[in-house]
Amino acid sequence: MDSARSWFQKFQPRDKSKSPAVPASHGKDPGKPPVDDAPSSATKQKVAAAKQYIENHYKTQMKSLQDRKERRWMLERKLQDAEVPAEEQNNILKHLEKKETEYMRLQRHKMGVEDFELLTIIGRGAFGEVRLCREKTSKSVYAMKKLKKSEMLRRGQVEHVKAERNLLAEVDSAYIVKLYYSFQDDEFLYLIMEYLPGGDMMTLLMRKDTLTEDEAKFYIAETVLAIESIHKHNYIHRDIKPDNLLLDLSGHLKLSDFGLCKPLDSSNFPNLNEPDYTPGKGAKPLPDNTSRLTNSSAPKRTQQEQLSHWQKNRRMLAYSTVGTPDYIAPEVLLKKGYGMECDWWSLGAIMYEMLVGYPPFYSEDPMSTCRKIVNWRSHLKFPEEAKLSSETKDLISKLLCNVEQRLGTKGAHEIKAHTWFRGVQWEKLYQMKAAFIPEVNGELDTQNFEKFEETGAQVQSSSKAGPWRKMLPSKDANFVGYTYKNFEIVNDDEVAGIPS
Ligand SMILES: Nc1ncnc2c1ncn2[C@@H]1O[C@H](COP(=O)(O)OP(=O)(O)OP(=O)(O)O)[C@@H](O)[C@H]1O
């Protein structure tokens, strides 16, 4: 409550001459025209932000109380089910209470970037970078995603960034990257996540060219479970692509990058709604590079030629500001209004790439890719050389199709039941041996990631990162309520240190 009050006070107008604390009519000079005492828009904004902060504060407190009760209840139930002797039960419950006390202490600590030692950069995206870091006190290693607020605002991504933070804090699944903390300073938002040292699926696919059916089945099945877990919480990813499928130490897959779909600025793309581009109709003449793939008079590329073109372009596409549209569903591109089915389309495109070597609508030019996607009926082809089984082609065709016919429209169970997945033990998948075990030597090993150059000054040297910064609330009302701490940050060593 105290912090809420002091934060509220910070939001009160400071310049009394502009926004008087008493109504303007009190003590005014009767000879002067009446002063407009309506609050300025800046004041209104501050009031709205303060209101949101207070609401958020109480919501968080209620939620943490409820979570605490739930943790206790779950543990009690587990202990009873396991018929643990009464004395041992008592000790275990006491241990939980100590962890709760430590968690409350950590909750009061205002987290900042200075709490972390910044290590190697492992990723760069449209809004910032991802790097390996180590928390100074606990020595735990994490991945820190840093997003520039001004860039998020400029590109209208504020709602997306909030959605990402909410989803990560809400969905607890083995197939979703775990969020430990989120916080902000004047310039940046930070997500402190578990570090997944196996690299991303894009890198794995570039190394392997294609996967065998069994290898693809393993990763596609885990992707199904990841997508199912976010859909259960009513989130749609919209931007599922191999770059967002990360591998943990044991080679299991986790979905990341939520709600931060790169803004596929429609002004950059051809008018996909033009009559000539409607699905099923004859396509407009395409630029040279794509007409080679569809025009019978132009030489057709072999699967191998297409694969090497794709691989040459892949990284460049991934790091471009527009991003790759290769996995985006036609209804998303056409801005028709879309639902969760769009994620199942992306699954189909990834499955195709795993088995063929490049995505189904690949073209060197992203605009042509978009055209091919919306005209998927005339562009979805399975190259002979890929020797896909009829079951494989059937599943891909049931994912890369109209929304109404698409598998998964009634739920993930429709996809899981397809014969291509025969033999998959869905419940045990995460406990099974992964298709590839990544090579990782030590907790700071980043060999499965690209090398990135350091650019400009490091965040730690920022003049805004002094200890006094912790005393100030962040000025930016757009990102109120971003802070989060996961209960799992409390480890047993810290609990052992608390005097009982
Ligand atoms: N938790 C993590 N552990 C290991 N590597 C990660 C983690 N999170 C992200 N990365 C790496 O950083 C890259 C970029 O991350 P991410 O896609 O989340 O950032 P982004 O800025 O949102 O990117 P995009 O521009 O694709 O939206 C990933 O492809 C991956 O290689």
Pocket test for ligand 1, best of 129, 140, 145 (most atoms within 8 A of CB): 145
> Ligand 1 centroid to 204 CA: how many Å?
15
Identify the pLDDT of residue 492: 63
Provide the token pair at 277.
Answer: 């581009």
Provide the token pair at 56.
Answer: 């958020």
Span 3-56, pLDDT tens digits: 433 333 333 333 333 333 333 344 445 555 555 678 888 888 778 878 877 777
Q: How far apart are CA 156 and CA 124, in angstroms?
A: 19
**Which residue's CA is the nearest one to ligand 1's atom 28?**
123
Q: Please report which residue ranges of 390-457 form alpha helices under DSSP H.
A: 390-399, 412-416
DSSP state of 158: H
> Ligand 1 centroid to 143 CA: how many Å?
9
Q: Residue 225, Cβ neighbours under 10 Å: how many?
A: 20
User: Helix, strand, or coil here: 310?
Assistant: helix
DSSP state of 446: -
- Mean pLDDT, 10 residues at a time, the chain of 500 residues: 36 35 40 66 81 77 81 86 86 84 76 94 84 94 91 76 74 89 89 94 90 97 96 86 94 82 41 44 29 39 78 71 83 85 96 96 89 95 93 98 95 97 96 95 94 65 35 54 72 51
Provide the token pair at 396.
Answer: 């891909």
> Ligand 1 centroid to 126 CA: how many Å?
10
Binding-site residue set: 145
The model's pTM: 0.72
- The reply to whether 343 belongs to the active site is no
The catalytic position among 37, 67, 115, 239 is 239
Which ipTM was obtained for this model?
A: 0.96
Identify the pLDDT of residue 500: 33
Q: How far apart are CA 403 and CA 393, in angstroms?
A: 18
Span 455-497, pLDDT tens digits: 764 444 333 333 333 333 445 667 766 677 777 767 665 555 4
| Ligand 1-lining residues (CB < 6 angstroms) | 122-123, 125-128, 130, 143, 145, 177, 193-196, 200, 243-244, 246, 256-257, 260, 262, 449
> Ligand 1 centroid to 349 CA: how many Å?
20
Among 450, 440, 451, 452, CA closest to 197? 440
Q: How far apart are CA 118 and CA 25, in angstroms?
A: 55
**Which residue's CA is the nearest one to ligand 1's atom 24?**
125
In sequence order, the 6+-apart residues with CB closer than 8 A to the CB of 230 are 167, 171, 173, 176, 236, 237, 255, 258, 343
**Which residue's CA is the nearest one to ligand 1's atom 19?**
125
